[in-house]
A and B are shown apart, each in its own frame.
Chain A
Amino acid sequence: MTLLIEESAASTQEKAHKVRGKVRLREHLMGWLFVGPFAIVFLALLIAPLAYAFYLSLWQKKLIGGTSFVFLGNYVKAFTDPTFLSGAWFVIRFSLVAIPLQIVIALAMALILDAVTSLFTRFSRLMIFLPYAIPTVIGAVMWGFLYSKSFGPLTDIFGLFGATAPDFFSSNLIFYGLINVVTWQWAGYYMIILYAALQGIDPTLYEAARMDGAGKWQIALRIKIPLIAPALLLILVFSLIGTLQFFNEPQILRYLAAGTISPGFTPNMYAYQQAFGLANFNYGSAISFALGGIVFVCVYAFLFFTRKRRSFF
């Protein structure tokens, strides 16, 4: 009830209306009518599965005696399970390299495309964005071809210089092979978002800076980048959430990189293997939930360090 009073006090809109009580009721009703369909889907397909996954994760399937309640036993198991821990460490390490790399490339491209206008830059903008239109699975398949010893071009290209081609499917290089696939896939998308933000800046600011003697680099560093900070932050958070859930690319390249990418290579692949390979849905759910916990911790740690919690959203 206090909420109602607060909200009605905050709203200035209904001054135009005459019958207050009736209008308020109508507004509540209409609001929920518009939000309702989504709310139902949200409850059924997000809240309910989350609750159910948490419930499942509290039980353990035993060979003898069926399922028994183990409370947080599966989580203790997960956080002491070397496969899960190495997978989690892999995606964290991967995020620390892949995300800054993608953002730096995307930012550089966006700044160039914003500063230089020609027919070629317009063409480049579309071409650089093109990989976003490609399903990640197909992107991984394509790069799998290029890395392949039997029909990829690497052997040819390195042969020209009398060198042996790097094998991106080997355990030493698979990390960089995957970094390359992810960068190719997403850098263009981030570039478009940053470019759109740059185009939204009022150009009179540049004129003013130029009057004050600022060069092109200074304009880029002191005006453009600070002004698109919210867009950068948004990209960082979403790429962090996405990268920690890494699944599609290693799952696809697993076939080609036989032996290098194990079924428990990333936490998501491990959860998938446990649930659908071994029919151990309880432990699979616990791994998914533990991964969710890691995502939350990482995102909040990131937002805390950037001290931008308020300006985000």
Chain B
Amino acid sequence: MTGSSRAGVRRRPQRHLPLQIFLGFLVVYFLVPFWWVIVNSSKDAPGLFSGSNTLWFADSVDYFGNLQRLFTFDGGIYGRWILNSTLYAFAGGIGATVLAVLAGYGFAKYRFAGRRFSFSVLLGALMVPATALVIPTFMMFSGLGLTNTIWAVILPSLLNPFGVYLMHVYARDAVPDEILDAARVDGAGELRTFLQVAFPLMRPAVVTVLLLSAVASWNNYFLPLAMLSDNRLFPVTVGLGLWQGIASANNAGSTSLWSLIILGALVSVVPLIIAFFTLQRHWRGGLSVGGLR
């Protein structure tokens, strides 16, 4: 994203040891919870509650057995939760992105009546607490018979005002009007101009918005918690919260549930970590757009 401006001035590689050591401490801090979960998901219930070696492996390392228990507990409900989360993340993420790309491009490239007014309403909406919408949306959906269905989670995820704002900024700067006009003069229709000329130029921001909306849907807790009562429709966040509530309520009787929760937490973050690492080249360019303007 800054390659061209940086290329002119060569920067000497600098290594400040004190700063790097400081950074090392921070990295340890940020990784400790992951390490704890990785280590302790290998233990069985007695090993977990033995009270020693909390940051190291016990004598028996049993990932395979724990995984088997995790995916067979309560008729394999955990696997369902993961699939539900995946469905909500993809449907919500893709839907929100399509709407945001179209609207952001429309705001950036057409001077239509009511544009300024609608755009300021959109900016105002960035400040509306998302959770304030959950109660009335629940009431409306309940009137339509939509609560406790997948639509109760997917439809509200389609709303991403920040995505529209981001796409607007990006389309305004990255898609020159001259290119669009040239395409029109060549006889391309508006839709074709958008799909074949503008869209490829907007791609980095599209990936960013897609990733951010998918992550937002995957991470969502308040909305599905309020909307869903059938635990077979739960996403993994609500499901693990449910297990944790059960395990805490009768601490003595449910020691085996704790090891499932620990491994469940680990398994649920693996897909996201993989997605972030493999796609990092794409989303990092887009993030700077939102931060700079």
Taking Cβ atoms with an 8 Å cutoff, the residues of A that contact B are 3-4, 7-8, 10-11, 13, 16, 26-35, 37-39, 41-42, 45-46, 48-50, 52-53, 56, 105, 109, 112-113, 115-118, 120-121, 123-124, 126-139, 141-146, 150-153, 155-156, 184, 188, 192-194, 196-197, 199-200, 202-204, 207, 228, 230-231, 234-235, 237, 241, 244-245, 247-248, 251-252, 255-256, 258, 268, 271-272, 275-276, 281, 284-285, 288-289, 291-292, 295-296, 299, 313
Contacts and interface: CB of A to CB of B under 8 A. Distances in A.
B13 A241 contact: no
Contacts of A135: 218-219, 221, 236-237, 268-269, 272
**3 smallest A-B Cβ distances: which pairs?**
A31-B112, A34-B106, A31-B110
Given A126-B277, A230-B292, A145 B36 contact: yes
B6 interface: yes
B122 interface: yes
Given A121-B20, A145-B37, A275-B226, 17 more contacts: A3-B113, A11-B111, A27-B110, A28-B112, A28-B113, A30-B190, A31-B111, A35-B107, A42-B159, A127-B31, A129-B276, A133-B273, A142-B37, A150-B251, A241-B127, A252-B241, A272-B226
Interface of B: 1-2, 5-6, 8-9, 11, 13-16, 19-20, 22-24, 26-27, 29-34, 36-37, 40, 48-49, 51-52, 54-55, 98-100, 102-103, 105-107, 110-116, 118, 122-123, 125-140, 155-156, 158-159, 161, 164-165, 177, 181, 185, 190, 194, 215, 218-219, 221-222, 225-226, 236-238, 240-241, 244-245, 248-249, 251, 258, 261-262, 265, 268-269, 272-273, 275-277, 280, 284, 287-288, 290-293
Contacts of B111: 7-8, 10-11, 13, 27, 31
A37 B137 contact: no
A112 B22 contact: yes
Contacts, number: 320
A280 to B, nearest CB: 10
A46 B162 CA distance: 13
Nearest to A11: B111
Contact of B23 (A120, A203, A231): A120
Q: Is the interface of B mostly helix, strand, loop or mixed?
A: helix
Q: Is the interface of A mostly helix, strand, loop or mixed?
A: helix
A277 B202 CA distance: 45
A249 B24 CA distance: 27
Given A30-B190, A109-B23, A284 B135 contact: yes
Nearest to A246: B131
Given A37-B103, A184-B29, A192 B287 contact: yes
B40 A137 contact: no
B20 A120 contact: yes
Nearest to A183: B29
A271 B129 CA distance: 13
B129 A56 contact: no
Given A134-B272, A230-B292, A245 B31 contact: no
A40 to B, nearest CB: 9
Given A31-B106, A45-B155, A153 B113 contact: no
A226 to B, nearest CB: 14
Given A52-B140, A203-B5, A271-B135, A7 B26 contact: no
Nearest to A123: B27
B286 to A, nearest CB: 9
Contact of B136 (A56, A188, A241): A56
Contacts of B48: 151
26 contacts: A29-B112, A34-B102, A37-B98, A109-B23, A117-B11, A120-B24, A128-B26, A128-B30, A135-B268, A136-B219, A137-B221, A138-B269, A141-B240, A145-B40, A145-B262, A151-B258, A196-B284, A196-B287, A196-B292, A235-B291, A241-B126, A247-B221, A268-B222, A276-B226, A291-B132, A299-B127
